[in-house]
Amino acid sequence: MSAYTSDATRAFLQSLLEVMDSDLSLNWGEWSMLFHWRRAEVDFDFLLGALHFWDPADHVFRFGLDEMCPTYEEFSWFLGQREDLPQGVITPSVGTRQVLADLLSVDVSRVRYMFAHGGLDLRRLLHFTRGAAVGSTTRTMGAMICCFATLLFVSGDLVIDTAIILAVRQALWGRSIATMVLAETLNGLDAMAAGGEFFRGAPILVYMWLLERHRFVRGLQTRIGVLHSPGLFFRRSIPYSFTRIPEGWVRVLSENTGYIRWYVPWWHLRSVVLSTGGQNYVRIQGLHQTSFYIPSRVLRQFNVPQSIVPAPRNFLPDPIEVDVGLSLRLAAMWQERLTHSYGSTELGITQPMAAAVVRSIWVRVRDRVLADPYQMAWSPFRDGDPTDDAVIRAYQDFDRARIERS
């Protein structure tokens, strides 16, 4: 259920499961998938193997010459939220104690002891919600906050960031938190690539997303057909042989590049965000820092034909600390975002632009292949530095062969 491994955390998660299992009749509403994921087992050896392919500079997984990245629309589907929902806004100045009291439907004096060391102690919160003097709404909300903290906003500590309380309130108000979860997850991947000790954000969503993209999971067979609901994900069969070491997964993922599922029809995505603020990337807000991803690098995920990866038109942003002013500006930029109908047209890419970016990718891939031969199962460039035309032809041939294999 979580990346945590300490004895204290395992004891906490066991207590959380007991609370959730004893209150099966409680109403989780639109967030019922969190209840269904309560016993989910995430293969963190698989995630560590996939991390080998993560590029923190461009925010993409690069499998050979194929690039992919989780996007707002895809995380929205996993979270069961519509893509057109208004965005949730985190304002750091809001009093979190009063917000927590309102969520639990109790007086603020009863929640003050739950805050310690600058955060919310999940053990105290869970102990309070298990008491006989609280109602079903309080028990449900307490368990839900714990699930948000241990599934979608993993931080590695049982004293969690109080901003998670604000994110839960935004979700219950019917606003989208997919950008927050995605930003925390992308920044968490960057931190792990830099030598971090555990995954932050929502490793469970990255895990499910990668399994779908690599065709490592099948639909759930029922009498009424094949089901792909997010809440039923961990009941679907996973048709691959398990390996218990990250290095084994590096080899498996390297050899699976020809079978990537670019278009996932059961996600039912209608449109995609291409940019915000007039830039060539989408800037998204996390709990305290911003992040970004570049949709134009992963057009095939949007069912748009793409044989050449486009080069960035301008610099890529570094994470920025979020304050009230920036939060409001990002919300305004999101309102004016550039969207594209899913799979409707092909976006044009110039040959010089393609040659420059594919050459830069090849140099990085070549260096990583020399360091680790399992990084890339196939390379079109084995005889030295190619010319620009050769780069383009090789990439087009590689892409054509990939399409034929799939």
- Which pLDDT tens digit goes with each residue over 182-219? 999 999 999 999 988 888 899 999 999 999 998 888 77
* pLDDT score recorded for residue 190: 94
State the residue for tokens 């080998």: 52
Tell me, yes or no, if the pTM score tops 0.85. no
Tell me the two tokens of residue 354: 């393609």
> What pLDDT does 72 receive?
93
Q: Which segments in the chain show pLDDT lower than 70?
A: 1-8, 10, 23-27, 92-94, 132, 221-226, 237-244, 305-316, 340-406
pLDDT confidence of residue 240: 61
Q: Which helix (H) or strand (E) holds 68?
A: strand 66-68
Please name every residue paired with 77 in a beta bridge, in sequence order, or none if there are none.
Answer: none
Give the separation between CA 306 and CA 297, rounded to whole angstroms: 9
Tallying the residues shown for the chain, one arrives at: 406
Q: Which amino acid is at 175?
A: R
Regarding beta strands 60-63 and 115-116, do their DSSP bridges make them parallel or antiparallel, or are they unpaired?
A: unpaired
Closest by CA position to 293, among listed 212, 182, 208: 182
What pLDDT is stored for residue 308 in this prediction?
56
Question: Beta partners for 293?
Answer: 282
User: Within 13 A of 52's CA, how many CA atoms are on the CB side?
Assistant: 26
Domain-by-domain residue ranges, the chain? 1-40+90-174, 42-89+175-347, 351-405
pLDDT attached to residue 280: 78
